[in-house]
Amino acid sequence: MYTELSKTERKKAIKVIEKHLKKYNSYKIAIINMKEQLDRIQSRNATKTNTLTLSQKVEEQERLVSYLEELELLVESMDRSLEDLSDLEVEFIQYRYFKKWSIEKSALNLGYSSKAIFSIRNQIMDKLIISLSPIIQLEVSLERE
């Protein structure tokens, strides 16, 4: 399915992938923060000193658990996809998306021309479009609703 995309569909898929790559570090931090928040909620439930009703506490905890599971699945999917890339491709992603460097700065640091970097980027996106297709498909379908 994702190997034969139209130009428009490919652009949408790349946009989704790049959005998540740029937010990757924030997702990892959010996972840590949510786990700490859940620990606090559970300890608060044990001491029963909070003014929230039991149902409010359970609702808050369920909401956090649900969001945490979504983020963990997203990060794990991205991690698996990145493992399939070459060292050069991973290095490009780290510079371009995780550190938010420009194409030119990334190219200079990797020792490639900007034109060659665009070619590398396209190869990466072709791989990620396939490996992250469930995430892309979900997001594109949510946009239609």
The confidence score (pLDDT) of residue 57 equals: 73
Residue 137 burial class via C-beta count within 10 angstroms: exposed 0-12, middle 13-18, buried 19 and up: middle
Q: What is the DSSP string of 12-25?
A: HHHHHHHHHHHHHH
The confidence score (pLDDT) of residue 32 equals: 96
The confidence score (pLDDT) of residue 119 equals: 96
- Alpha carbon distance 129, 18 (integer Å): 11
User: What tens digit of pLDDT does each residue of 126-144 get?
Assistant: 999 999 998 888 787 666 6
What's the gap between Cα 128 and its chain centre? 12
- Alpha carbon distance 13, 71 (integer Å): 19
| 8 A C-beta contact, residue 128 and residue 120 | no
The structure tokens listed for 34 are 């949510």
The confidence score (pLDDT) of residue 28 equals: 96
Q: How many other CB atoms are there within 10 angstroms of residue 120's CB atom?
A: 20
- Alpha carbon distance 54, 17 (integer Å): 39
The confidence score (pLDDT) of residue 138 equals: 79
- Share above pLDDT 90 across residues of the chain, in percent, rounded to a whole number: 68
For residues 67-79, give the mean pLDDT. Answer: 94
More confident residue, 38 or 127: 127
- Alpha carbon distance 121, 36 (integer Å): 36
For residues 1-10, give the mean pLDDT. Answer: 78
Give the residue among 15, 116, 131 at the shortest CA–CA distance from 79: 131
User: What tens digit of pLDDT does each residue of 41-61 get?
Assistant: 777 766 655 556 777 777 888
Average pLDDT, the chain: 88
